[in-house]
Structure 1
Amino acid sequence: MAYQADLGNGQKIYLENRGTQTYVTLASSSSGQQQQSSTGIETGTWTQPPQLTQTPSGVNVEVFTQDGSRFIQVQGSSVSVSVQSPGSDRGDALPLRQTSNAPTLPPIEPMQPMQPMQPMKMGDMEMNLNSMEMRMGDMEMRMGKSTPNRSFCPQCGAKIEKSDRFCSACGYSLS
């Protein structure tokens, strides 16, 4: 059997005993997001329902087993176990409700592939990211496939012909 308690601010704690393991599941939800984490701890088989107290520093859980009490301390997302009582600051008792089992988050939908981007135009500038092209005025840049019989100087960007050995604008060696 599992138990749950509301910790406030969209947070809940779920406690479940499976065999000799106690599972502590912390779940939080707010608009647009959910998260949870579970920790399994060897405590022994429960002999009665656990007791839960909330302190300024977190939550204390007392689990009653055949070998005595075990104390589970929860601070934020950290969970630790002890055979000793947490001390005199036991905190305020939190009501536990029986539940069928600990929560499970719905599976995350796989990401869909991106749709091809449409060419963008801004004044005399045009960009096409599908074929990696950009035109602005009389200047063109392409990646992947080269422009037939025409290219640009890697030094200054001036237009050059495939047959050129030097850039006519800056003299850069193209060979």
Structure 2
Amino acid sequence: MNLYLRYFDSETLVSSVEEAIDFLSSIDEIGMNPMLEADIREYAASDVFYPKRYKIRPRVYFIIIKTEAATMQDFKEKRALHSADDGLKERPAVPAVLKLNEVRDGWYEGELNFKRVLLVPGTGKFQYRDTLFVAQVRAISGQDCYNRIVDHLRQRVDDRSQFPSAKGKNFKFRFLGDAKPLKA
């Protein structure tokens, strides 16, 4: 495992923690100290593959990235990327926004958690309550499912109720199956 280090225009690819510490020690602004050295050694020994950044002063950082690249050119051309699944070949994850807009005519089950305005009987005041609404609708996409559910609720709840975004964690949907074509 190699380490890529960068501080502004100064960058290097090293094969050991000692080389990394020597590189950072050569930059006066970084101010290498025993605590920073220990933290860099701990990061290099860990199983964490996320880049690590260290604050030098406000809005000034240096970064360390673990890589399998043998040369700087390989690193720059992203030839030795570390995969998060360590070699498991699976279908790449489809972003939620793409699933939301994927056109697939049929039946959907939509689950919407929204803030509903309700009257508190004893006080006569109104309050927001988290309300879960689940419905099965015929739609052409996840977004259409969301729109149909929200349109339905807007006709039946107080206008001050708040609906979450279709892209957020408070709306979930799943495709139930194809719809049979309507006969003319």
**Which protein is richer in helix relative to its size?**
2
> Which structure exhibits the higher relative contact order, with contacts defined as CA atoms closer than 8 Å and separated by 6 or more residues?
2
**Which protein is richer in strand relative to its size?**
1
Instruction: Give the alignment's TM-score, normalised by structure 1.
Output: 0.20
Instruction: Give the alignment's TM-score, normalised by structure 2.
Output: 0.20
Larger Rg: 1
